[in-house]
């Protein structure tokens, strides 16, 4: 009798583990995982350049040449841009544009940079 129970538990764990592994894209983002465990992001402009977070339109080499002592780009923004680059298979400039438009939309700003607030008055 105990062998049947052990066999049932073993098969159940294997089946549940397989289902969870195959569906991890749907639920993995719900689990709070510390950043240092999941993904190590660069902490300087030189490491940002090595990670591919630069282009001709967004050149970080001037920051290095000037001896900029800051820690590099914003970690949250880097993470989001890297996700966009991986998910949509686009280059850094396009991922940065998509990220900026998403931030604009979250703050009720149109893609052209104008607020979508119906009370907004502009004089041109």
* Contact indicator for 111, 104 with CB cutoff of 8 Å: yes
d(C-alpha 48, C-alpha 75), whole Å: 10
Model pLDDT, residue 62: 78
d(C-alpha 11, C-alpha 34), whole Å: 31
Per-residue pLDDT tens digits for 63-103:
778 777 776 677 788 888 888 888 898 988 899 899 989 99
d(C-alpha 119, C-alpha 105), whole Å: 17
Model-wide pTM > 0.85:
no
Query: Please, where are the H alpha helices in 1-124?
Result: 2-22, 24-27, 35-38, 45-50, 61-65, 75-88, 92-106
Domain assignments of the chain as residue spans, ordered by start: 40-115
> Bridge partners of 90?
none
Mean pLDDT of 20-46: 72
Mean pLDDT for all residues in the chain: 82
């Amino acid at each position: 009798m105990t062998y049947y129970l052990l066999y049932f538990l073993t098969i159940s764990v294997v089946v549940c583990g397989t289902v969870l592994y195959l569906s991890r894209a749907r639920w993995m983002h719900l689990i709070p995982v510390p950043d240092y465990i999941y993904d190590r992001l660069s902490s300087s402009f030189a490491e940002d350049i090595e990670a591919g977070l630069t282009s001709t339109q967004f050149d970080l080499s001037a920051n290095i040449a000037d001896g900029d002592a800051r820690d590099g780009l914003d970690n949250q923004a880097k993470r989001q841009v890297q996700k966009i680059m991986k998910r949509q298979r686009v280059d850094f400039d396009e991922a940065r544009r998509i990220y900026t438009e998403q931030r604009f939309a979250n703050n009720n700003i149109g893609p052209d940079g104008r607020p979508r607030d119906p009370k907004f008055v502009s004089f041109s």
